[in-house]
Amino acid sequence: MTELGKALRATSTAIPGLVIWDLPVHGDNRGWFKENWQREKMVAAGMPDFGPVQNNVSFNSSAGTTRGIHAEPWDKYISVATGRIFCAWVDLRDGPTFGTVVTAEVDPSRAVFVPQGVGNGFQTLEPNTAYTYLVNDHYSPDGIYTSLNPADTTIAIDWPIPLEKAELSAKDKAQGPLSEVVPIQPRKILVIGCGGQLGRALRAAYDGVSHVDYVDLPDFDLSSGAFATARRWREYDTIINAAAYTAVDTAETAEGRVAAWAANVTGVANLARVAAAHGLTVVHVSTDYVFDGTSARPYREDDPMAPLGVYGQTKAAGDQIVGTVGRHYILRTSWVIGEGRNFVRTMLSLAERGVDPSVVDDQVGRLTFTTELARAIRHLLETRAPYGTYNVTGSGPVTSWADVARRTFELAGHDPNRVTGVSTDEYFSTAPNPVSPRPLRGVLDLTKIESTGFVPAAADESLADYVRLESRAAVN
């Protein structure tokens, strides 16, 4: 009998990502009703927003019908419309849980999310059982899919109806044992812009991970018309776009405006089209420059954009484009510091050379180190957090650029009072034109990223670590 009146509930298993769901089933004298797949409720309860594209039904006329064990290159959400089944899953993915077995009985009051690479098999326990499944890629009759013999003694599945008395296809009977299965590798991640500050941090964050590819500009040009065929996109799961035009002031020139729009808008549009066509996840990095900096409170992800200059306008346009991709993460950040030329390194150089700088003190925000951005990207992808826009910066007190300069001097053993605070207008009064307007307040609210379990590092602690490493490198 189908159990009625359950609350919607998710139960994790020994196979990472394999989750058994209890479903509310409502019944009366006429029969029963359930919401078999309810995206909004289930995503809110922790279901990956996996984007199903195909719905299949397997009708099984007799008890003992046994199918599997098959591991296709897509996620699968299974349930039963009528009848009962015994399900068995074997993790066939490369990693420490390879070969792990989980079994469970499923009736209409249960459903199971099966991640890509996990072998799925079932046996019907009642006649006239209808087994249903949603998948997030289209089946191809020409595809080569990993399978495992359900009778393999290595996995030792205790089928309720012995397999010698069950109905199996000749193909399933002929499958090999676990010892012959080549562990399934994840679909690949492509990092675009691996030579930049964030790209280098992503290389470090994914060090030793074999399924990450790296490409750099200008050899890999997002704005090129050939981008759509630049890779075998079906081999990929995710594109991380760490490339952007970031010359804020040069973007205000005629030549810079064209270059900024080509990189930050045309290129992003090409990326979005490829991602939408192949069901890829896009990770895109944005900026506080999409806001005008007039908010008295930290900016939230859903605040309206109002960019002041060309750079901010192109980034805002890119955000809007990426937001149309079903599977996307936009990481909005500020005051980025990483390996390469940056503000902190400039201050360290000035301090060592005896130069007493004037630094703006009316622009406020928080530093973001590329190591934190890379960590946040990996966190969102691996936890399969809900898609959308996330603010990512260092945590802690809001500071001005002058405050950062003084703290950098202090951490490096120099007198912080050597730094003089000036207004933005004063600082740029003698600068050659053009100068892009800056948002005076670039403080971003971190509540949403924290709700995913990510704890942003304190910006001041990251700054101290960075200065320590830079000082050590200078000595060596």
Greater model confidence, 349 or 48: 349
* Best CA proximity match to 412, nearest among 476, 320, 349: 349
Catalytic center residues: 70, 133
Instruction: Check whether 475 has a pLDDT greater than 70.
Output: no
Which residues pair with residue 28 across a beta bridge?
Answer: 31
**For the chain, what percent of residues have pLDDT higher than 70?**
99
Per-domain residue ranges of the chain: 9-180, 188-475
Could you give the CA distance from residue 316 to residue 290 in angstroms, rounded to a whole number? 5
For residue 57, pLDDT over 90 is answered with yes
Indicate the burial class of 280 (C-beta count within 10 angstroms; 0-12, 13-18, 19 or more): buried
CATH number listed for the domain at residues 188-475:
3.40.50.720
Residue 432 has a pLDDT of 80
Instruction: Give the span between the Cα atoms of 335 and 368, in whole angstroms.
Output: 6
Phi first, then psi, for residue 427 (nearest 5°) are -60, -40
Q: Residue 75 — φ and ψ, nearest 5°? A: -80, 150
| CA dist 362 → 125, 323, 425, 427 (Å) | 71, 32, 10, 11
Q: Are 237 and 186 in contact (CB under 8 A)?
A: yes
Residue range 205-247, pLDDT digits in tens: 999 898 999 998 777 877 777 778 888 887 899 999 999 999 9
Whether the predicted pLDDT of 295 surpasses 90:
yes
Return d(Cα 188, Cα 277) in angstroms, integer: 16
**pLDDT number for residue 49:** 83
Q: How confident is the model at residue 204 (pLDDT cuts 50, 70, 90)?
A: very high
- CB 463, CB 340: distance < 8 Å: no
Q: Are 391 and 445 in contact (CB under 8 A)?
A: yes
Which amino acid is it at 426? E
Per-residue confidence (pLDDT) for residue 189, from 0 to 100: 95
Alpha helix segments (H runs only) across 323-440? 343-352, 370-383, 401-411, 424-428
Q: What is the mean pLDDT of residues 313-330?
A: 96
Q: Does position 126 have pLDDT exceeding 80, yes or no?
A: yes
Nearest-CA neighbor of 293 among 334, 233, 263, 249?
334
Q: What is the DSSP letter of 30?
A: T
169: its two tokens: 């296809």
pLDDT at residue number 228: 80
Q: Is the pLDDT of residue 1 over 70?
A: no
- 190 by DSSP, 3-state: which? strand
Other C-beta atoms closer than 10 Å to the C-beta of 196 total 21
User: 3-class SS at 303?
Assistant: coil
Average pLDDT (309-326) is 96
For residue 220, the model assigns a pLDDT of: 80
- Average pLDDT for 255-264: 95
- Chain segment 357-411, per-residue pLDDT in tens: 999 999 999 999 999 999 999 999 998 899 999 999 999 999 999 999 999 999 9
For the residues 3-30, what does the mean pLDDT come to? 92
Q: What is the pTM of this model?
A: 0.77
Helix (H) or strand (E) holding 84: none
Beta-ladder partners of 167: 65
Tell me whether residue 397 is exposed, middle or buried, using C-beta atoms within 10 angstroms of its C-beta: 0 to 12, 13 to 18, 19 or more. Answer: exposed
Q: For the segment 448-466, what is each residue's pLDDT rounded down to a tens digit?
A: 999 999 999 999 999 999 9
Angle at 334 between CA 330 and CA 339, to 5 degrees: 100
| pLDDT greater than 90 at residue 434 | no
Residue 228, helix vs strand vs coil: helix
Check residue 474 and give its pLDDT.
Answer: 66
Q: Give mean pLDDT, residues 54-81.
A: 93
Q: How confident is the model over 421-449, as a mean pLDDT?
A: 92
DSSP-assigned letters across all residues of 157-219: ---SS-GGGSB--HHHHT---GGGPPPBPPPEEEEE-TTSHHHHHHHHHTTT-TTEEEE-TTT
Fill in the amino acid letter for 200: R
Percentage, residues of the chain above pLDDT 90: 80
Mean pLDDT score of the chain = 93
Non-local (6+) Cβ contacts of 442 within 8 A are 288, 289, 291, 293, 299, 334, 335, 363, 364, 365
In sign, the C-alpha dihedral spanning 322, 327, 332, 333 is: negative
**Residues 95, 101, 102, 106: what is their CA dihedral angle, to the nearest 10 degrees?**
120
Give the model's pLDDT for residue 119. 96
- Chain segment 346-360, per-residue pLDDT in tens: 999 999 999 999 999
CATH number of 9-180: 2.60.120.10
pLDDT of 141 strictly over 80: no
